[in-house]
Amino acid sequence: MPLNIKDLKITSTDFQPLGMLRDEHAGDKGNVLPKLTISGVPEGTKELALICHDPDAPLPQGFTHWTVYGIDPSATDLSDAQEKYRVGPNGAGHMQYYGPQPPAGHGKHHYYFWIYALDTTVDGTPTREEFLEKYAGNIIEQNRIVGLYENR
């Protein structure tokens, strides 16, 4: 199945694409999840998955801040995703959102909020790496919004 990157969208009223995330979203300054909205879910989607990842973290695979599975394809507002859907492990192994917290002086980090439309359901709560390895062939469409954060 060819990958379609045309209709699925993820947006936020808390930050613009490549805009700065506010301190309240940082892991050590409030840890408030940014408001996220989904639209354009393609036909045939059985489930949505969401992953927030910082590839700039000084670790071999970057750092995963949030994994969420079992999101209903009809969902549009993800403000209650932490309570409503299956939250998987973040990079520290905790089952929760953990906001940006780059090392002080490390510069601006990019926080990718990826949304995936899948033609199947996800079993359990895999890590980001396990999810991408096992379900890459089931992704109908994907998109992302990227926010920036710097810890000075």
Task: For strands 109-118 and 139-149, give the pairing.
Answer: antiparallel
Amino acid identity for residue 10 in this structure: I
pTM for the model: 0.94
Hey, what CATH class is 9-149 in? Answer: alpha beta
pLDDT tier for residue 74 given thresholds of 50, 70 and 90:
very high
C-alpha pair distances (Å), 115 with each of 71, 140, 148: 10, 11, 17
The pair phi, psi for residue 68, each rounded to 5°, is -135, 130
- Average pLDDT value for the chain: 94
Q: Where are the domains of the chain?
A: 9-149
Amino acid identity for residue 122 in this structure: V
Reported as a single tens digit per residue, the pLDDT across 102-152 is: 988 899 999 999 999 999 999 999 999 999 999 999 999 999 999 999 988
